[in-house]
Amino acid sequence: MSNPIIIGNWKTNPDELKTAKKFISNLDEKLAKEKLGKFKYMLAVPDVFISELSKLSKGKIGSQNISGTKLGQETGLSTSSQAKSAGATFTLIGHSEVRKRGETIEERKIKLESSLKSKLITVLCIGEKERDSSGKYLSDLDRDLKETLSQIDSQLASNLMIAYEPIWAIGGENSATPAECFEVIINIRRGLYEILGEKNAKDIQILYGGTVNKDNAKSFIAEGGANGLLVGRSSQDVKAFFEIICSCN
């Protein structure tokens, strides 16, 4: 298996472009010293920083959301091709914080199609709000995955990644356990096979996100079946993010 994919989600951090640039040069310097210089982390940054940061960190910078709108008269939105031309190589789609602001499944489908057609690596986030003892969350997640991917051209799936992010574990104190993560990842993998067929689904990487830190990061990969991680708060501090990367290598 190749190196796990570690994606940082900076959300609305940091405050200034110069701090963001300093973060990346510090991180690359630390990784080079550990001989992890070629390690490919990815960072989902505020859109306004994409252009400058992608010059510093080729191939690693992405967007946290794109709009599904076509060129035209929509105030305050950027399209997948605009993100790509600014230097983004990937985008998150359907993060729970975006869903909370009212993103519908129809919008998500349009974003997904637009992003995949622009050849951005497209990280679709899914996760349950809460768990129930009857396992309904598993069928709800399966339905969400299948509805969102229902119209996707399976040929474009080579650029698709899934991030399993249980909403109850985002921004809190407790992550999922590796066993809880494993159960859902197996289900997601099964769903992907059903929708896209084995050939297109088998190499899709499935990440875990939700209160990942240096102490639990490795367990989601070693025991939880994840191919990588989507990290929020711990990616916003260079030392914490560096320690996560080291712990997984």
CB of 76 to ligand PGA, least distance (A): 22
Binding flags for ligand PGA, 224-243, as an x/- string (CB under 6 A): ------xxxxx---------
CB of 235 to ligand PGA, least distance (A): 7
Of 4, 5, 6, 9, which lies in the binding site for ligand PGA, with binding defined by CB under 6 A? 9
Which of 52, 95, 103, 128 is an active site residue?
95
Name the closest residue to ligand PGA (Cβ).
232
Angle between helix 105-117 and 136-149 (nearest 10): 50
Q: For 213-233, give one letter per residue: b (16+ CB within 10 A) or e.
A: ebebbbbbbeebbbbbbbbbb
Which of 52, 97, 103, 165 is an active site residue?
165
The DSSP H or E segment spanning 144 is helix 136-149
Nearest to 47 by CA among 5, 97, 100, 11: 11
Cα-based distances in Å from 125 to 14, 28, 139, 146, 213: 22, 27, 16, 13, 19
Residue with tokens 């359907």: 94
- Our finding on whether 211 is near ligand PGA (CB under 6 A) is yes
Binding flags for ligand PGA, 191-210, as an x/- string (CB under 6 A): ------------------xx
Of 112, 170, 188, 244, which lies in the binding site for ligand PGA, with binding defined by CB under 6 A? 170
Tokens of 99: 């869903």
- Helices (H) and strands (E) counted in the chain, each on its own, are 10, 8
29 is catalytic: no
Strand, coil or helix: what is 92?
strand
113 is catalytic: no
- Our finding on whether 171 is near ligand PGA (CB under 6 A) is yes
Residues that bind ligand PGA (CB under 6 A): 9, 165, 170-171, 209-212, 230-234
Catalytic site positions: 95, 165
